[in-house]
Amino acid sequence: MTALAAPAALRAPSPRLSRWLLRLHRPALYVFTGLVLVLAAALLWLWGPLTDAAAEGWRQWNACGDHPRCSYDQDAILRYKKVYDVTTLAMFLLPFLVAAWAGGALTGGELENGTAELTWTQGVTPARWLAAKLALPAALVAVGTGLLVLLHHLMWSAGEGRIDTSKSWYDTLTFAVNGPGLVGLALAGLVVGALAGLVVRRALAALGVALAAMAALWFATLSALPYLWPAVTTTGDLDSGFAVDGLHVDYGLVTSTGRHIPVPVCNGRCEDVYTKLDAVGIYNDYHPRSHFWPLHLMEAGLLLALAALLTLLAFRLLTRRTATARHREEAAV
């Protein structure tokens, strides 16, 4: 088998192989399905009753004005916030759980205990084995995370403008789970974990490597996010301030010649420092609300492209290793 055989292996796995894989990883399938159902139920609860109750609680609070003894439904407000925070965090952690499972059980565990090699002796090529390993979980992960993203976005939109403490669209965790970027991150996590298992070939070590790689990928994605789409620049006088309603990219001072310079450390004597720098105004580079979908689509596209490249790398690595092992066996005979 050569590396050229890898694309052919990307065809749909045979029904027999698919059933075997489902039986082998049945516990993980049950856990993932259960987790998706629980989160979906929580999101539906948030979308309907909890949002309505919290919105009514805030309406009561805003109607109180300055009356100290005015009553409002504080429990509904706090309940909404708690369920929202827990559900959003759980969704954010899903790609990491997928990566850990892929490294520890999907490939690393089978290579460590010899199950993979046994499968290859039953008429299943290594490339077809890996294709089946990736195709079935990828479909489940895409459908599961896609459903959760849709429900989360609907739920968040229902509370926007109605709940005073609702998260902004650019809140780190809210943005991460509120669009297709989460699906791309989950699929990338699946491939990262599978590749870690192929490289390390030990379940526990592959699990750790997959989690570390996912942490690095997340921080890289978070750092690159503001630059995935052209930012909007606004200017104002020196008293305007740097607060914006959006995702901040950069800010600083504007000189009389129109040059943008960083904000200096002034220790309470800012006017004198600004005068010496010839600063006449300030600028803000940021992403407004209208950039939500462009940013998410760019993020998802880059993560899916990375997942595709890592998939090809995984096939290349598996092909080389199996070919080397076969040549060694032939030489020994």
What DSSP string describes 277-292? Answer: TTEEEEEEEEE-GGGH
Residues in CB range of 21: below 8 A, 6 or more apart: 13, 132, 133, 136
The verdict on 245 and 191 lying in the same domain is no
Query: What phi and psi, each to the nearest 5 degrees, are found at residue 100?
Result: -65, -45
250 vs 12, 256, 266, CA distance in Å?
Answer: 47, 19, 19
Same domain, 194 and 282: no
Burial 2-35 (b: 16+ CB within 10 A, else e): eeeebeebbeebeeebeebbeebbeebbeebeeb
pLDDT value of position 226: 96
Asked if 278 and 219 sit in the same domain, the reply is no
| Contact in structure between 315 and 130 (CB atoms under 8 Å) | yes
Pairing type for strands 260-261 and 279-287 reads unpaired
Residue at token pair 């006017």: 271
116 and 129 in contact (C-beta within 8 Å)?
A: yes
Same domain, 101 and 196: yes
User: What global pTM score does this model have?
Assistant: 0.88
Are both 306 and 187 inside the same structural domain? yes
Mark whether 127 and 272 lie in a shared domain: no
Give me the average pLDDT of each 10-residue run along the chain (333 residues). 42 62 80 96 96 93 78 92 97 97 91 83 84 91 97 95 92 96 97 95 94 97 96 92 92 93 84 89 95 97 97 93 60 51
Same domain flag for 53 and 111 = yes
Indicate if the alpha-carbon torsion angle 92, 94, 98, 101 is positive or negative: positive
Is there a contact between 184 and 261 (Cβ–Cβ < 8 Å)?
Answer: no
Whether residues 294 and 202 share a domain: the answer is yes
- pLDDT at position 235: 93
Residues 75 and 57 in one domain: yes
Do 89 and 56 have their domain in common? yes
Give the chain's domain count.
2
Q: Residue 283 CB: number of other CB atoms within 10 A?
A: 18
What pLDDT, on the 0 to 100 scale, is given for residue 77?
94
pLDDT for the residue numbered 327:
53
Neighbouring-strand partners of residue 260: 254
Q: Tell me, yes or no, whether 239 and 263 share the same domain.
A: yes
| Residue tagged 């159902």 (tokens) | 37
Residue type, 268: G
DSSP assigned state of 102: I
pLDDT for the residue 50: 95
Whether residue 26 sits in one domain with residue 148? yes
Question: Rounded distance, CA 96 to CA 176, Å?
Answer: 13
The residue range of the domain holding 242 is 232-288
pLDDT at 183 (0 to 100) = 97
- Residue (of 107, 119, 318) closest to 197 by Cα position: 107
Eight-state DSSP code of residue 48: I
